[in-house]
Amino acid sequence: MSETVGPGGGAPTGPIDPDDDEIPAGNRGPQGSVAALAVGAIGVVFGDIGTSPLYAMRDTFSGHHRLPLDLLHIYGIVSLMFWSMMIIVTIKYVSVIMRADNKGEGGSLALLALINKNSSGKRWSKGIILLGVFATALFYGDSMITPAVSVLGAIEGIAVFNPSLGRLVVPMVVGILVFLFMIQSRGTAKVAALFGPVMLVYFAVISVLGLLSVAEHPDVIWALSPHHAFNMFVNDPFKGFLAMGAAVLAVTGAEALYADMGHFGARPIRVSWLVIVLPALVCNYLGQASLLMRMGEPALVSPFYLLAPDWFQWPLLIIASGAAVIASQAVITGAFSVTQQAIQLGFIPRMSIKHTSLAAGQIYIPVINTALMIAVILLVLVFQRSANLTAAYGIAVTGAMTIDNVLLAVVLFNLWRWKPWFSVPLLALFFALDAAYLLANFTKIPDGGWVPLVMGLAIFTLLTTWSRGRMLMHQSMAEGTIPMEVFAKSAHSSAARVAGTAIFMASAKSGVPSALLHNIKHNKVLHERVVILTVSIQDVPYVDEEKRFKVTDMGKGFYRLIIRYGFLEETDVPAALKRVSLCGAPFEMMKTSFFLSRQTLIASDKPGMWIWREKLFAWMLRNAASAMEFFRLPTNRVVELGSQVEI
């Protein structure tokens, strides 16, 4: 996965030369003070986990596996939630996993690229890649459920304050979600500037409401002791185990800390979590526990909203709704970013990517936006209530967390080489807790847990089919290719030369592109300057400018040019060509023609994939964005030549 080039000169497939393995990343880290970045992180990174109090405690006691409202279970659940946040979020993600950055970038795909670069060729590397891809597939499932459950959980407060308005909840949620997805194409830079302050207000409000409730039952503070969680499992092990399926909602969004690390940096995220977010969540959960101890069953309507006095109920609804929309926005933009990485790393077909501002990462992908909008609205219409959706919520999250443990184990032993006496107990703790949560969530499969599993498996099939099909296509195209040096000598003397520059996009680092062979076969001419161009996507987020280009002069007016990009960079080929100075005269777009190959799949006697996957790959290939659009080539300077390929 070090270099990624593909059919028609497009996206990734093959390994690069050893000299290209170590490509330093450019200095694109987050800029600004720690305080400013920490505020920004609060607005983007913590929306998901920050809105968990809307439904986590309620669903633990009134969900599909109800718990008795007594001291044993209330204190036990609060203790379980607190120590889960401490172990999973604070220790695992904030303290350990965030150290495993890929040139400052985080997330499953960035970590996968880092591992693959340092372990390529080892027997277990293929399995690790598949696990990382499945974690990415689960992320897409999570990105469909989060907006639905967050906005539903917030707007349901209307029915708490005025039950007669309950019938309006679903139409209002659908309207908010449609509006949210419709504005994505306009860019979210200006709106995002408000995210941090709004979430600061939200966390301040839930902290105060929680503390006011704790003041009425101060003994609830003792619920933070780990022995209460232990006592719950000892005295009621079966119900305690089932309750973990709902208690995990308190840590949903933990993986976002790692995934968004490249936007804000590790230190600001750590500061905002430890100073603002964690204390606010603990205060609110303690406040809800105090309310349940005092009010009992009536508080289960919504222990979050009932913390507020009557005069503050509607303001709280507005603040919580704003936080839910922000949580949804963060997941949507995260889906755009993950998709861009997956395209560059060769797991998703080329798609139209629109940049909504000059800031890095501010992108909009129409296909993903439309697909997410349809999926989210369908989930709202089918499940109707957040309590129903939370049954589908935990599996994607716990599955991704468990896979992160496997990737972390590879990092600890293969990259960092930590001492076993330290790393083994640490990993055992993470695996034990995440596995218990995952198994507990399996009990929710009949109640909706099947949704993220079906979504994840479907997306995993698409990702792996595309990756496998591209590899087979690359191998098929490489068979029987003529060495470029031999072709240059023979073609120079057998074809007429015409003025101008011809750039042939190539998916391989050697051999003659099929478009060049077809051109000389049918047109029997060569341009004065012929450039074989390969776009190479590296396993780093950004590439230093001095490492951007690799030029080989093959004589007779033939050049081989490699342009390297990081997996977070925009592949603007014309802009890059303006900076190339080793291919003779400067490139002039009006005197340059781009030749692209368009492949058509045909049946093979020995197919490399099952026939249904081959048909699926062919469909994905037909519907992929054109290389012309993906590489931003001038439309009036592109010539496409077709060829047939067996895989």
More confident call, 106 vs 133: 133
Residue 104: pLDDT over 90: no
What is the separation of C-alpha 289 from the centre of its chain, rounded to a whole number of angstroms?
34
Residue 27: pLDDT over 70: no
Residues above pLDDT 70, as percent of the chain: 87
427-432 mean pLDDT? 91
pLDDT digits (tens, 9 = 90+) for 260-309: 776 677 888 888 899 999 999 999 999 999 999 999 888 888 899 999 99
Residue 132 makes CB contacts below 8 A (sequence gap 6+) with 108, 109, 111, 112, 115, 403, 407
Which pLDDT does position 5 carry in this prediction? 38
Q: How far apart are CA 47 and CA 326, in angstroms?
A: 6
Give the dihedral of Cα atoms 236, 239, 242, 248; nearest 10 deg: -70
With tokens 């205060």, the residue in question is: 283
Residue 210: pLDDT over 90: yes
More confident call, 2 vs 225: 225
Q: Which amino acid is at 242?
A: L
CB 463 within 8 A of CB 136: yes
Residue 599 makes CB contacts below 8 A (sequence gap 6+) with 7, 8, 473, 477, 621, 642, 643, 644, 645
Q: How far apart are CA 279 and CA 415, in angstroms?
A: 34
Average pLDDT, the chain: 81
Q: How far apart are CA 77 and CA 540, in angstroms?
A: 42
Residue 172 makes CB contacts below 8 A (sequence gap 6+) with 155, 158
pTM of the model: 0.78
What is the separation of C-alpha 552 from the centre of its chain, rounded to a whole number of angstroms?
36
pLDDT digits (tens, 9 = 90+) for 28-75: 555 556 777 778 778 778 888 888 898 889 888 886 677 888 899 999
308-318 exposure pattern, b = at least 16 Cβ within 10 A, e = fewer: beeeebeebbe
Work out the number of other CB atoms within 10 angstroms of the CB of residue 357: 14
pLDDT digits (tens, 9 = 90+) for 222-235: 999 999 999 999 99
Here the tokens at position 58 are 């309620």
Domains and CATH numbers, the chain: 31-165+200-348+383-467 (1.20.1740), 482-646 (no CATH)
Work out the number of other CB atoms within 10 angstroms of the CB of residue 246: 31
Which pLDDT does position 362 carry in this prediction? 65
Q: Point out the least confidently predicted range of 149-153, 163-167, 378-382, 641-645.
A: 641-645
Work out the number of other CB atoms within 10 angstroms of the CB of residue 102: 24
CB 212 within 8 A of CB 357: no
With tokens 């640490």, the residue in question is: 426
Residue 102 carries which DSSP code?
B
Which pLDDT does position 647 carry in this prediction? 65
When pLDDT is cut at 50, 70 and 90, the band that residue 14 belongs to is very low
**Helix %, strand %, coil % for the chain, to 5?**
65, 10, 25
Residue 11: pLDDT over 50: no
pLDDT digits (tens, 9 = 90+) for 471-501: 888 777 766 567 777 777 777 667 788 888 9
What is the three-state SS of 472-527? Answer: HHHHHHHCCCCCHHHHHHHHHHHCEEEEEEEEEECCCCCCCCHHHHHHHHHCCEEE
Q: How far apart are CA 150 and CA 330, in angstroms?
A: 12
Q: How far apart are CA 86 and CA 277, in angstroms?
A: 12
Q: How far apart are CA 288 and CA 561, in angstroms?
A: 63
Q: Judge residue 238's burial from the number of C-beta atoms within 10 Å of its C-beta, 0-12 exposed, 13-18 middle, 19 or more buried.
A: exposed
When pLDDT is cut at 50, 70 and 90, the band that residue 145 belongs to is confident
Q: Which amino acid is at 325?
A: V
More confident call, 600 vs 331: 331
Which pLDDT does position 74 carry in this prediction? 92
Which pLDDT does position 20 carry in this prediction? 46
| Closest C-alpha among 258, 28, 2, 266 to residue 115 | 2
Residue 259: pLDDT over 80: no
pLDDT digits (tens, 9 = 90+) for 507-525: 777 778 878 888 887 778 8
Residue 390: pLDDT over 80: no
When pLDDT is cut at 50, 70 and 90, the band that residue 643 belongs to is low
Query: DSSP characters for 159-184?
Result: HHH-GGGGGGHHHHHHHHHHHHHHGG
Q: 536 in the Ramachandran plot: left (φ > 0), alpha (ψ -120 to 50) or beta?
A: beta
Which pLDDT does position 187 carry in this prediction? 63
394-404 mean pLDDT? 84
Residues above pLDDT 90, as percent of the chain: 20
CB 439 within 8 A of CB 431: no
When pLDDT is cut at 50, 70 and 90, the band that residue 193 belongs to is low
| Residue 551, φ and ψ in degrees, nearest 5 | -120, 135
Which pLDDT does position 377 carry in this prediction? 93
More confident call, 193 vs 427: 427
Q: Point out the least confidently predicted range of 33-37, 91-95, 502-506, 556-560.
A: 33-37
For 605, the 3-state DSSP assignment is coil
Which pLDDT does position 284 carry in this prediction? 95
Q: Residue count of the chain, please give it.
A: 647
